[in-house]
Amino acid sequence: MALEVVVLAAGQGKRMRSRLPKALHTLAGRPLLAHVLRSVRTLRPARIHVVVGVGADEVKAAFADEADVSWVLQRQQLGTGHAAAQAIGDIARDSLVLILFGDVPLVRAETLRACVDAAGDGIGLVTADMPDPMDLGRIVRGADGHVRAIVEARDANEETRAIREINTGIMAMPAALLAAKLKGLRSNNAQGELYLTDVISMAVADGVPVNAVKAPCPEEVAGINDRMQLAQLERFHQARLAEALMRSGVTLRDPSRIDIRGDVTAGEDCVIDVNVVFEGTVRLGHGVSIGAGAVIKDATLADGVTIHPHTVIDGAKIAAECEIGPFARMRPGTELAEHVKIGNFVETKKTRLGAGTKSNHFAYLGDTTTGEDCNIGAGTIMCNYDGVDKHPTFLGNRVFIGSNSTLVAPIKVGDDSYVAAGSTVTDEVNVDELAIGRSRQRNITGWTSPVKRKKQRSP
């Protein structure tokens, strides 16, 4: 049977108290809905339908690149059953439908597969035991242990509210069965909504088997309804990611003080100090050391790289044995060859530095390419912008730029040449030349400092 997936994500997420649709709130740097889609795709479904409503355009725009999603609009949010009913018309009648919620981000593919496998000719339903199930739907089982119904907390009596087994919202069943039951839903409940959960008791009444699968860990199927739950799940997820890094051979100085908002892979014997944030795709070689408070995004750091504390790296390729920071900023298009040293308050952008080049203190290196073993003095500025266009700077090998120099691009500085400290360089410097671009020092002899006039006393 072909598999079609329906993700319900039209709700307003009232309890978030937010202008952003709930599906777009992020966990580990990705929208909640993105997590769900990622898990779903591993099942290779024939189609993925996502029901959107509140903020539909915003949600669709955020996922505009994902061509395999077919969007379904639920104009009014009349409940989960009503949401599923909006999608059913687009679903092949002979397929199996897996329904899940856009606000349950950490569900694993294995659990979804177990649900699909459990459906058979009936219904597969994922449940979980929660110590404190609050406002979640309760799973009511009969004396024979089989699931009989799902009762929403608000519609439950005290006895039912005491049940700890809850509905995760994940269920699978044949499309024809779902279509028939959705037609029969009524909104005679506390919230006046059409509940998808009522499909269960209706099917049971017809003798359809409901096969429950218990999720092994409650966090995996936890829904996010407010910002406290979002924060709790973020911490849970970060702990899992930290654990995976440690298993792959990384030392974390404190596994509870790292944030991974993307994908990080690491070789052996990397050491990561506290409060480091990773974003996007980050690849670490062997023996990389990252200091406290660094923020590293979309970067490759080769073997033996040392990042000192509070360094910000975005879109950079850093070769083996480079040393960067503290307080350095590597912007997109930065490429450092082996053994480059970058010190405090140095900013690079679209800049390639040759092996062994050093810029140890206070500098702006934009649109710059250097050869090997250059020394760029403190306070050097590559003036790459004329107010309209950006221009490049080229340094050869073994170039020495004296402190507090400005190089006005476009400009070339040849191999083994020097720029004297305090120069403003506007013309090309050739091989082996010393460029001095500053006014000559003049000393005035016999200089006496001005004397302050004495205040006159008032008579």
Question: Contacting ligand UD1 (CB under 6 A), which of 4, 11, 99, 270?
Answer: 11
CA distance 401 to 316: 24
Q: Does 293 bind Mg ion (CB under 5 A)?
A: no
Q: How many residues does the chain have?
A: 459
CA distance 257 to 243: 12
Strand pairing class (123-129; 26-27): unpaired
Whichever of 100 and 322 has its CB closer to Mg ion, that residue is: 100
Candidates 9, 106, 272, 316; binder of ligand UD1 (CB under 6 A) is 9
Token pair, residue 220, equals 């995996």
The gap between the terminal CA atoms of the chain, to the nearest Å, is 109
Q: Going residue by residue from 213 to 242, which x/- string records binding to Mg ion, judged by CB under 5 A?
A: ----------x-x-----------------
For ligand UD1, the closer CB: 21 or 291? 21
For residue 392, give both structure tokens. Answer: 């490049």
Question: Among 51, 45, 56, 38, which Cα is nearest to 92's?
Answer: 45
What are the start-end ranges of the E strands in 234-340? 250-252, 258-266, 270-272, 276-284, 289-290, 295-301, 306-307, 312-318, 323-324, 329-330, 334-336
Q: Which of residues 13-52 bind Mg ion (CB under 5 A)?
A: none
Q: Which of 286, 310, 361, 391 is catalytic?
A: 361
> Is 152 among the residues that bind ligand UD1 (CB under 6 A)?
yes
Residues facing residue 375 across a β-bridge: 358, 400
Q: Which two tokens stand for residue 292?
A: 């406290």
Q: Following DSSP, what letter does each residue of 396-417 receive, concatenated?
A: -TT-EE-TT-EEESSEEE-TT-
Plot region of 116 (φ>0 → left; ψ -120 to 50 → alpha; else → beta): alpha
Contact 79, 194 (CB under 8 A): yes
| Residue 308 is among the residues annotated as catalytic for this protein | no
For Mg ion, what does the binding mask look like between residues 66 and 105, x meaning CB under 5 A?
A: -------------------------------------x--
80 binds, among Mg ion, ligand UD1, none (CB under 5 to 8 A by kind): ligand UD1
Query: Where does this chain touch ligand UD1 (CB under 6 A) — which range of 3-11, 155-163, 205-213, 401-409?
Result: 3-11
Min dist. Cβ of residue 142 to ligand UD1 (A): 18
Which residues, 74 to 103, sit near ligand UD1 by CB under 6 A? 74, 77-80, 82-83, 101-103
Q: How many residues bind ligand UD1 (CB under 6 A)?
A: 30
Should residue 137 be labelled a site residue for ligand UD1 when binding is judged by CB under 6 A?
A: yes
Note whether 230 binds ligand UD1 by CB under 6 A.
no
Q: What CA–CA distance (Å, rounded) separates 458 from 343? A: 58
Residues that bind Mg ion (CB under 5 A): 103, 223, 225
Active site residues: 361
Residues that bind ligand UD1 (CB under 6 A): 8-11, 51, 53, 74, 77-80, 82-83, 101-104, 136-137, 150, 152, 166-169, 195-197, 223, 225
